[in-house]
Amino acid sequence: MSTPYGYPSAYGNYAQQGGYGYPMHGGMPGAMPGSAMMPVNMNAGGMPPNVPSGAVVTPSGGNIVTAPLVEESYVENILRLNRGKIATVYMTYENNREWNAKVFKGVILAAGRDHIILSDPVTGMRFLLLTLNLDYITFDEPINYEYPFHGTVVTNSTPMQADMTTTGTSSGSR
């Protein structure tokens, strides 16, 4: 027995499938009743709705946008605050026969989530370094630093407290 298009019946009834062997349920190929694959609301252009990064799409097609964390401090942000300063960047590269550790010294031009761009002031050579290999960074001068903490902004000019119990740490022994 064959389907209207000459496919053997081993492929099932082609007329009850959405073409290419995908069953049709509710107008969406592959959507089985009770499965996790639910129809997505489409906009006028036939495209799924735009969803902000980090948002969750509900089964009905709505968005749940989560608020960003207020207290975040990342190396990339600290490096951006110190653009134009000379830094020494220590990197480690595993499984490299020629060198497994390397030191780069240069002016910080830019920093992103996964990279640092340095410029050697002597040679003018530019380095694009992946933070995946980053061990640590040193500066020969004070660094600029800002960090939101408990509703205030901590900077390098914020006075240090003698009693650290208000910040969640304790100097007592256990």
Q: What is the CATH number of the domain that holds 110?
A: 2.30.30.100
pLDDT of amino acid 2? 52
Strands 28-29 and 56-57: unpaired
Residue 81 lies in a domain: yes
More confident residue, 128 or 33: 128
Least confident of 39-43, 130-134, 157-161: 39-43
Could you tell me if 79 and 111 are in contact, meaning their C-beta atoms sit under 8 angstroms apart? yes
- Degrees, nearest 5: CA angle 112-152-135: 35
Could you tell me if 49 and 39 are in contact, meaning their C-beta atoms sit under 8 angstroms apart? no
Collapsed DSSP state (helix, strand, coil) of residue 68: coil
Tokens of 124: 């003018």
pLDDT of amino acid 121? 94
Per the structure, the count of domains in the chain is: 1
Could you tell me if 39 and 28 are in contact, meaning their C-beta atoms sit under 8 angstroms apart? yes
Residue 54 lies in a domain: no
pLDDT of 156 > 70? The answer is yes
Q: Could you tell me the pLDDT band of residue 174, with boundaries at 50, 70 and 90?
A: very low
Residue 53 lies in a domain: no
Domain region containing 141: 75-146
Residue 121 lies in a domain: yes
Give the pTM: 0.51
Residue 82 lies in a domain: yes
Residue 126 lies in a domain: yes
Residue 5 lies in a domain: no
List of E strands, the chain: 24-25, 28-29, 56-57, 63-64, 86-92, 101-111, 115-119, 126-130, 134-139, 146-149, 152-155
